Chain A
């Protein structure tokens, strides 16, 4: 089977978004006695998204090579960030941010465990000194 272009898939996703916007906009007033209603503007940009994304799908040709290794690295770091944000609610900023930093230094950049611990602790300490202490800004 022919490999689809990333433009094909992103076009389909945007077409779905356009369809959702149009569907929602149709539930709201298009025109009211005072003038255009809440559905007026969204209906037009929703239709424009739908039309342009379908044009993108039709115009997409062959798939360029994707650097899956690099993408995997970036997605792994994003997942670590997302997990640290979720963990932050339970364990606080210091622990979750230190864990994220340790992961980046030790796992993604393959530096030694000791160096990773030192960087993580130093950064957490620096954030505490700069934000709550110096600027009076609360940490999450």
Chain B
């Protein structure tokens, strides 16, 4: 199927009234979630995931994806008005966005964030539409060794980029692999790590871990603070929100920069929108004629990162839908959602379910238009979300988490596990362990073990099969290189310090 025919089919799916409604619900929820500091798309999607079992899968993926990219639009509002990022990917937007708001230019800052998000978000969808089908055809040649190598590469990148400590990220990922291993081994029917509990024989449901670690962990960490932050006011009226022509001229390069960098970083498993927004901001500053003014309230300092974090969502869906490899916590939950509905994301996904893939692509074009309309004139209304009392919001999240987990299994044991994983999620935040590697280890653990064991069965136990096939050898070499970079950098730093001390 060519792209034009696919897109036509996609619009037929996305323009169905029910799917249009789900798209609107998704982007609206995403914007609200993005505005709320401390409640991210992974937590929201994890909480809603069990309820989507009642929905048509096309409508469900359209809604969940809408939450994913809609949150990127909303995240900028909190950064600009509150100097607190609504999303981790909007951290860098605080630098110039809040300074603009303090100078009385909150309106144009919010306006340019919405326009940059729209432009780059649309470019990201175009990239997804053009790159995903050929990549899926290429990946048809992959067998177990290549899949194992690909997952190892994905996990290596996530681990490297997930946090400040490589050791902690690696440990989180390994604990995720362990949790994935709990239950009955599918090859030998041996029960592993079940502590004698019948409930653990079928393993731990991904939803329980995702809701516990992301939603409860995040809320518990936010509830440490008693005070609620105060936001700067938003100017009323569309005219006060629109950037000037000069602002638009100043942001020309930022739109391109954010779109391209965001998409390319998104395609790399593990890099994520936070990295994309930081790199895009850095590039914008490096090439700007007024780089010394960055940090004091420069409009392109808002446009570049906001563009990048929106374009990244299109890129991040490429490895998810073509290879079945999620690159972040949110895409890991989207992968779990697709599996829950009976799909198998991978090289055959697009050809076997063109309505799902093209329907999603078309809905993202529509969703980006909806978001532009929602985020330009209605931003003062959305900003009211920041005034919602947290003592109402947090019990709602607790309630949704409990109902969400119970609706999957109807098991009181899973509710006890939920409390346990909530505590684990909170402890990870307190101790600075990144949670994305744990969730990715959990999602990929079962498939990774299966791919490794199938590879070794193919080679009659020889690990050589992993390095004798060119694609697999290349990917494993990259994975090793990625993990060695920080070690080499540290050894280099020690060497330089030793030389400096010798010269004293």
* Residues of chain A having any CB pair with chain B under 8 Å: 6-7, 10, 14, 17, 21, 24, 28-29, 31-32, 34-38, 40-42, 45-46, 48-49, 52-53, 55-56, 59, 66-67, 70-71, 73-74, 77-78, 81-82, 85, 88-89, 93, 97, 100-101, 104-105, 108-109, 111, 119-120, 123, 127, 131, 135-140
| Residues of B216-233 contacting chain A, CB below 8 A | 216, 220-221, 223-226
0/1 per residue, B395-414, Cβ < 8 Å to A? 11011001100110010100
- CB pair A85–B416 under 8 Å, yes or no, is yes
Contact between A109 and B226, CB atoms less than 8 A apart: yes
B391 and A109: CB pair below 8 A? yes
Contact of A36 among B396, B423, B453 (CB under 8 A): B453
Interface residues of B in 360-408 (CB under 8 A from A): 390-392, 394-396, 398-399, 402-403, 406-407
| Cα separation A77 to B415 with both chains bound (whole Å) | 16
Listed stretches B121-129, B163-171, B234-242; interface member? B163-171
Cross-chain contact B171 with A81 (CB below 8 angstroms): no
Chain B residues whose CB sits within 8 angstroms of the CB of A85 once the complex forms? 402, 412, 415-416, 418-419
Chain A residues near B188 (CB-CB < 8 A): 28-29, 32, 37-38
Determine chain A's interface SS by DSSP, over half rule.
Answer: helix
Is A74's CB under 8 angstroms from B449's CB?
no
CA distance A121 to B423 in the complex (A): 27
In contact, A104 and B396 (Cβ under 8 angstroms): no
Q: Are A49 and B178 in contact (CB under 8 A)?
A: yes
- Report the 8 A-B pairs with minimum CB-CB distance, sorted nearest first: A70-B224, A35-B457, A109-B391, A38-B185, A101-B395, A38-B190, A140-B406, A41-B449
A41 pairs with B170, CB closer than 8 A: no
B445-468 near A? 1/0 per residue, CB < 8 Å: 000010011001100110000000
Closest CB of chain B to A126's CB: distance in Å?
Answer: 8
Pairwise interchain contact A73-B410, C-beta atoms closer than 8 A: no
**Chain B positions within 8 Å of A138 at CB level:** 406-407, 410
List chain B residues, Cβ under 8 A from A104: 391, 394-395
A69 vs B409: C-alpha distance in the bound complex, in angstroms?
36
Is A119 touching B407 in the complex (CB atoms < 8 A)? Answer: no
With a 10 A CB-CB cut-off, give which of A41, A59, A88 has the most chain B CB atoms: A41
Cα–Cα, bound, A131→B400 (Å)? 10
In angstroms, Cα B177 to Cα A52, docked, is: 15
Indicate the member of B174, B216, B406 with the most A CB atoms within 10 Å. B174
With A24-B192, A35-B453 as known contacts, state yes or no: A49 contacts B171, CB within 8 Å: yes
Which residues of the other chain, B, contact A119 by a CB distance below 8 angstroms? 391-392, 395
Residues on the B chain within 8 Å of A59, using CB: 167
Q: Contact at B419–A28, with CB atoms within 8 Å?
A: no
CA distance in complex: A69, B36 (Å): 24
* B245 adjacent to chain A (CB < 8 Å): no
Residues of A within 8 A of B452 (CB): 36, 40-41
- Determine whether B8 belongs to the interface, using a CB cutoff of 8 Å to chain A: no
A97 touches B399 (CB 8 A): yes
Known contacts A6-B431, A35-B456; decide if A89 and B412 are in contact (CB<8 Å). Answer: yes
Complex contact B403–A100 (CB within 8 A) = no
Q: Which residues of A contact B193 (CB under 8 A)?
A: 21, 24, 42
B54 within 8 Å of A (CB atoms): yes
Which of A66, A81, A123 meets B396, CB within 8 Å?
A: A123
The complex places the Cα of A30 from the Cα of B486 at a distance, in Å, of 32
Question: Which residue on B lies nearest to A69, using beta carbons?
Answer: B224
Query: Chain A residues with Cβ under 8 A from B422's Cβ?
Result: 78, 81
* Complex: A101 Cα to B12 Cα, angstroms: 44
Give 30 CB contacts A-B under 8 Å.
A10-B427, A14-B171, A24-B193, A28-B185, A29-B190, A36-B456, A36-B461, A37-B188, A41-B177, A42-B178, A48-B170, A49-B175, A52-B167, A52-B171, A55-B167, A70-B224, A74-B223, A78-B216, A78-B419, A78-B423, A81-B422, A85-B418, A97-B395, A108-B223, A108-B391, A109-B391, A123-B396, A135-B54, A137-B407, A139-B406
Would you list which residues of chain B between 437 and 495 have a CB under 8 Å from chain A? 449, 452-453, 456-457, 460-461
| Complex interface residues of chain B between 246 and 299 (CB less than 8 A to chain A) | none
Contact B391 A105 (CB under 8 A): yes
Asked, given contacts A28-B192, A108-B223, whether A41 binds B407 with beta carbons under 8 Å apart, the answer is: no
20 additional contacts, CB 8 Å, given A17-B175, A24-B193, A93-B402? A7-B431, A14-B171, A14-B175, A28-B185, A40-B456, A42-B192, A45-B174, A49-B174, A56-B171, A74-B426, A78-B216, A78-B422, A97-B398, A97-B399, A108-B223, A108-B226, A127-B403, A137-B407, A138-B406, A138-B407
Cβ of B147 within 8 Å of any chain A Cβ, yes or no, is no
Q: Which residue of A lies closest to B450 (CB)?
A: A41
Using Cβ atoms and an 8 Å threshold, which residues of chain B touch A67?
Answer: 224
- Chain B residue with the shortest CB-CB distance to A116: B391
